[in-house]
Amino acid sequence: MRTVTNPFITGGYVPEEYFCDRVQESKEVIRTLSNGNNLAIISPRRMGKTGLIEHCFHQPEIRDHNYTFFIDIYATDTLKEFVYKLGKEIFDTLKPKGKQFLDGFFSMISSLRPAFKLDSATGSPTFDIGIGEIHQAAFTLEEIFKYLESADRQCVVAIDEFQQIGKYPEKNIEAILRTHIQKCKNTSFIFAGSQRHLMQNIFFSSSRPFYQSVSLLQLDAISEEEYIRFVRKHFANDKKDISAELVSKIYLLFEGHTWYVQNIFNELFSLTAENETCTFALAQEAIANKIDSYRPLYQSTLSLLPERQKEILYAIAKEGKASGVTSGPFIKKHGLLSQSSVQTAVKQLLDKEIITSEENVYQVYDRFFGLWLSNLYGTGWRW
Ligand SMILES: Nc1ncnc2c1ncn2[C@@H]1O[C@H](COP(=O)(O)OP(=O)(O)O)[C@@H](O)[C@H]1O
Ligand SMILES: [Mg+2]
């Protein structure tokens, strides 16, 4: 039996052959890094920031001349955790270089020396330290930066969900980081983030330490044209067919939001047999099933929301894209309580990242959730 890798990857590293487009964006990332400049990448979650960074890290221009590091700090709450993540990432990435690396690493970052352990089963070195054992995070951070600056190659450090540093309780985090980063000659940085207003505040408010310290890349959806080409090519490679019209319909339903369309085409690819053509009916069924598979999650999300927030969420889902949500007509149309209660509820939904706003147009953040709600409370999405 022949096994085929599903070409529509929905998690983890996307190998070159399954990576769609991003040609312009990759050029820009590589050019910025090659010039020793720092870069901020902003997009909604699941649009492809991590994928783009990993893709660029694998290109010869970067791979052959740099050490590359990637940390996601979404789940970190303190500078200590940040320092732990960064230290561990450098250790894990460079460990294959062997003993000489290990000696250098722990002699320069002496405050992390307690983390050096030998795995009891394999005998190989591991990085193992309790967060509580990092006593002076700022000092360890300084040692880490010194280490990167002394490396025998240029370094690139990508920090995903960078806006999270704004939530650390320690004072002056941004100033501390900025001071180190400014001094780096051998190390470039990518700051990626999905909370646009927080990211913009960090990099574009004149009162903040990171003001004007980066080039900005706003990552949008892959273009419809490129995505149609990509989908049809991979179907054809496996002797399957799908019309440009159908791909376009699905693309538009999700506005090309990468993870969502990838999920649907992953499903359609496996449901379409060799020498067959994917039909509209099959696609409709697959989308409905996909969305419904998340029902338990959506129900529990809803059950945790107070009544006022649920009401406005339903109203937004019904509209798909809702504008003027605090206006009289909108409130009346959807039977909402009052302007002030809508304002409060909207803010809470934004903080929980259940909805997003772009120039005062509101939308349910999770596109499957949005369609699921519009099926229940609106006219639904079916073609
Ligand atoms: N250019 C691409 N081609 C194909 N799949 C991609 C591409 N970029 C991202 N993906 C897929 O989309 C999903 C979301 O991308 P990701 O990079 O994790 O988004 P973000 O970091 O913005 O949240 C990933 O699971 C990945 O499989
Ligand atoms: Mg990411």
pLDDT tens-digit map of 210-236:
988 899 999 999 999 999 999 999 999
pLDDT bin (cut points 50, 70, 90) of residue 359 is: confident
Got the DSSP string for 282-330? HHHHHHHHHHHTTHHHHHHHHHTS-HHHHHHHHHHHHHSSEE-TTSHHH
Q: State yes or no: pLDDT of 348 exceeds 60.
A: yes
Q: State yes or no: pLDDT of 1 exceeds 60.
A: no
For residues 204, 207, 212 and 216, what is the CA-based torsion angle, rounded to 10 degrees? -20
**SS3 of 242-278:** CCHHHHHHHHHHCCCCHHHHHHHHHHHHHHCCCCCEC
Rounded Cα gap, residues 179 and 177, in angstroms: 5
Beta-bridge mates of residue 193: 42
Rounded Cα gap, residues 34 and 66, in angstroms: 10
Pocket test for ligand 1, best of 43, 50, 71, 161 (most atoms within 8 A of CB): 50
Rounded Cα gap, residues 5 and 54, in angstroms: 20
Q: Which residue has the least CA distance to atom 23 on ligand 1?
A: 46
Q: State yes or no: pLDDT of 107 exceeds 90.
A: no
Check: CB of residue 134 under 8 Å from CB of residue 111. yes
Q: What pLDDT is recorded for position 271?
A: 96
Q: Above pLDDT 90, what percent of the chain? A: 79
Mean pLDDT, residues 344-356:
96
Q: State yes or no: pLDDT of 11 exceeds 70.
A: yes
Q: Of the candidates 269, 237, 277, which has an alpha carbon nearest to the alpha carbon of residue 6?
A: 269
For 145-179, the pLDDT digits (tens) are 999 999 999 999 999 999 999 999 988 899 999 99
How many angstroms does the Cα of residue 194 sit away from the middle of ligand 1?
Answer: 13
Locus of tokens 């487009």: 21
Rounded Cα gap, residues 345 and 313, in angstroms: 9
* Exposed / middle / buried, residue 157 (Cβ in 10 Å: 0-12, 13-18, 19+): buried
Tokens of 105: 């690493």
Q: What pLDDT is recorded for position 119?
A: 85
Q: Which residue has the least CA distance to atom 17 on ligand 1?
A: 48
Tokens of 378: 């609106």
pLDDT bin (cut points 50, 70, 90) of residue 4 is: low
Mean pLDDT, residues 251-280:
97
pLDDT bin (cut points 50, 70, 90) of residue 187 is: very high
Mean pLDDT, residues 20-35:
97
Q: What pLDDT is recorded for position 357?
A: 92
Winning range, highest mean pLDDT, from 117-121, 123-127, 148-152? 148-152
Query: Regarding predicted confidence, which is higher, 378 or 21?
Result: 21
Q: Output the pTM of the full model.
A: 0.93
Q: What pLDDT is recorded for position 135?
A: 84
Q: What pLDDT is recorded for position 114?
A: 83
pLDDT bin (cut points 50, 70, 90) of residue 117 is: confident
Q: What pLDDT is recorded for position 314?
A: 96
Ligand 1 binding pocket (C-beta < 6 A) is 9-11, 14, 19-22, 43, 45-51, 258-259, 262
Check: CB of residue 346 under 8 Å from CB of residue 312. yes
Mean pLDDT, residues 320-339:
94
Amino acid residing at 351: D
To the nearest 10 degrees (0 to 180), the angle between helices 280-292 and 367-377 is 100
Q: Using only C-alpha atoms, what is the Rg of the chain?
A: 24
Mean pLDDT, residues 120-145:
88
How many angstroms does the Cα of residue 31 sit away from the middle of ligand 2?
Answer: 21
pLDDT bin (cut points 50, 70, 90) of residue 100 is: confident
Tokens of 305: 């929301």
Phi, psi of 369 (to 5 degrees): -60, -40
